[in-house]
Amino acid sequence: MKGRRVAAVHTGAKGLRSPFARDFKRRLTGAKVLSCGRRAKYLLIGLDTGDTLVLHLGMSGRVTIIDPDKSYKKGRHDHLTLIFDNGCRIVLNDPRRFGMAFVEQTARLNDYPAFRVLGPEPLAPGFTGKKLVAALAERSAPMKNILMDQRIVAGLGNIYVCEALFYAGISPLRPAGQVSVVEASRLVSAIKKVLRAALKAGGSSLRDYRHADGSPGYFQTKLAVYDREGQACPGCRCDISRTGGIRRIAQGGRSTFYCPRRQT
């Protein structure tokens, strides 16, 4: 898409989380794409107008790129379509409309409220156990909730938090301030490992929800604890008929899956 110019913009009537800004289409039309990037869970499309198109997929959002010669049947929940000068199209489809799409001045991106407070990228070299343990200090909230907080580390969601805590052997219930630097280092390694594995496998979409190019994410078949209530965790040596296997609890209104015997 780099180097292509936006020829036309179509938006759905309903908008996403919030309605499209009044000048949304105007600021995109005619703009040339300079860069495509990502920050936390936000997709960033840099334009030659000094603006950046920011997209967020929420949970059910899907961005599909359609080649000029390919036919495309308009989806019921298509909310944004960019048509480029070469006939290529980008479609943002989101049944639950939890996603976002807005234009912001590139130079002011970091002033955007959600961006300003964003924590470190989990895959960046600077994200270390030492840094993490400092961010956890004095915090009484459970580790699960803390890792879901994008201000602590940016880009983890419910599935990967559950998985990383399992591989680190840390209970999701543990008060964050009680995590040692050794444990935090183990957790950082686990987070990086889980994310790299998921990326390699093509994401973790559940059920019929698919990933960027329309193909399903296959990582869910490799998940250790998420959505595996009552099952044995990988390498489990306990008698699950007696222990009940992987446990599911609610934290912050979300499901947490963990092994109470191997995560302390």
- Which H or E run includes 241? helix 240-243
Residues 80-139 that bind DNA (CB under 7 A): 95-98, 113-114, 139
Nearest residue (CB) to DNA, 127 versus 226: 226
Q: What is the total residue count of the chain?
A: 264
Pattern 221-240, DNA, x by CB under 7 A: -----x--------------
> Is 41 among the residues that bind DNA (CB under 7 A)?
yes
Q: Is 8 helix (H, G, I), strand (E, B) or coil?
A: strand
Q: Which runs of E-coded beta strand occur in the chain?
A: 6-11, 33-39, 42-47, 51-56, 62-66, 78-84, 89-93, 100-105, 247-251, 254-258
Work out whether the CA dihedral 144, 150, 154, 160 comes out positive or negative: positive
| Shortest distance (Å) from residue 86 CB to DNA | 31
- Least CB distance to DNA at residue 256 (A): 9
Give the residue, chosen from 30, 58, 169, 202, that forms a contact with DNA under the rule CB under 7 A: 58
Q: Kindly compute the dihedral angle of the four CA atoms of residues 112, 114, 117, 120, in this order, to the nearest 10 degrees.
A: -110
The answer to whether 153 touches 96, Cβ cutoff 8 Å, is no
Single out the residue of 176, 179, 188, 223 in contact with DNA (rule: CB under 7 A).
176
**C-alpha pair distances (Å), 196 with each of 90, 202, 253:** 26, 10, 27
Residues of this chain, 155-174, that bind DNA according to CB under 7 A: 157-159
Question: Minimal distance in Å, beta carbon 168 to DNA?
Answer: 18
C-alpha 42 chain-centroid distance: 8
User: CB of residue 154 vs DNA: minimum separation in angstroms?
Assistant: 8
Residue 63 C-beta: closest distance to DNA, Å: 15
| Residue range at the interface with DNA (CB under 7 A); choices 56-64, 78-86, 122-130, 166-174 | 56-64
Q: Which residues bind DNA (CB under 7 A)?
A: 14, 17, 40-42, 56, 58-60, 76-77, 95-98, 113-114, 139-142, 145-146, 148, 150, 157-159, 176, 207-208, 226, 250, 252-255
